[in-house]
Amino acid sequence: MTAIFVDGDACPVKAEIEKVATRHGLPVTIVSNGGLRPSANPLVCHVMVPDGPDAADDWIAEHAGAGDIVVTADIPLAARSLEKGARVIGPNGKPFTEQGIGMALGMRDLSRHLREVTGGQTHHAGFSSKDRSRFLGELENCIQALKRAG
């Protein structure tokens, strides 16, 4: 059965994930190292991991697999999840794919290098209602594709 794993720290679409998952009867695991308000929904499980770099990412990478959906903005976690056969969606609704993950990793490294060299900051676009709408559509499409394949 398809399960949804959420990189929960700073994820702006947790409520949307819960709503769509409930409609489809899919379990959701929200993983974080911070205190999140637990959901009363029996399909939603919260896993709190210890503080530390990549603890939530490591937990998700260990538990997600083929036929699952991972929601994250973290590019290395997306790559690890894709390697295990999971589908990966960013909170902005843009899917991570096998074909595009190499470029995403390369751009991430380039941005980090530029920040180190210049001492500047990388600015990300704000999260918009268009992103939320795109996410809902992509999550629904992903679930439907997995149902058809399974």
State residue 112's pLDDT score. 65
Residue 25: closest CA among 6, 5, 2, 7? 2
Residue 42 above 90 pLDDT?
A: yes
Residue 23 belongs to domain with CATH number: 3.40.50
Asked which of 2-11, 32-41, 135-144 is least confident by mean pLDDT, the reply is 32-41
pLDDT-derived band at 3 (thresholds 50, 70, 90) equals very high
State residue 20's pLDDT score. 96
Pairing assessment for the beta strands 87-89 and 28-32 based on DSSP bridges: unpaired
Per-residue pLDDT tens digits for 103-146: 655 655 555 656 667 777 666 667 889 999 999 999 999 999 99
Domain hosting 71: range is 4-149
Q: What per-residue string of b and e applies to 102-118 under the rule 16 or more CB within 10 Å gives b?
A: eebeeeeeeeeeeeeee
Q: Report the percent of the chain where pLDDT is more than 70.
A: 84
Query: What is the count of structural domains for the chain?
Result: 1
Per-residue pLDDT tens digits for 45-56: 999 999 888 899
Asked which of 31-35, 47-51, 73-77, 105-109 is least confident by mean pLDDT, the reply is 105-109
- Tell if the pTM clears 0.95, that is, is over it: no
